[in-house]
Amino acid sequence: MAEITAELVSVDRMLWSGEASIVTVQTTDGEIGFMPGHEPFLGQLKEDGVVTISPADGDKVVAAVQGGFVSVVGNKVTVLADSAKFASEVDSNEQFDDEDPAQKARRDSEQAALRRIGSA
């Protein structure tokens, strides 16, 4: 089966890189999936969005993202998020007593996005 090269990057780290059969993102214009041979594309990621990568081999990768961009050039999809966390990194029981309101709002929206994935 054909594959597309994919990268999921946040401002502070590389989350995932490899070959995938499909990459699905939520943009400000709606949800879109990228497969091998997709036309060039540039889009803005939705706040409180979800990125799903189906690797060529292995388990599906799911992450909550906060804004950013997605581009497709050639046979490569690059997702550059302002902030991103894997679903497995979100702990809804974690305490954040000393965080500022902006951090709390971002964390709450990431958790809400991941809960939507679980209920879909």
Q: In order of start, what are the domains of the chain with their CATH numbers?
A: 4-118 (2.60.15.10)
> How confident is the model over 62-110, as pLDDT tens digits?
999 999 999 999 999 999 999 999 988 876 555 445 567 777 777 777 7
pLDDT tens per residue across span 23-58: 999 999 999 999 999 999 999 999 989 999 999 998
Judge whether 23 and 55 are in contact, CB under 8 Å.
no
This prediction's pTM: 0.77
Unique residue bearing structure tokens 């679903």: 87
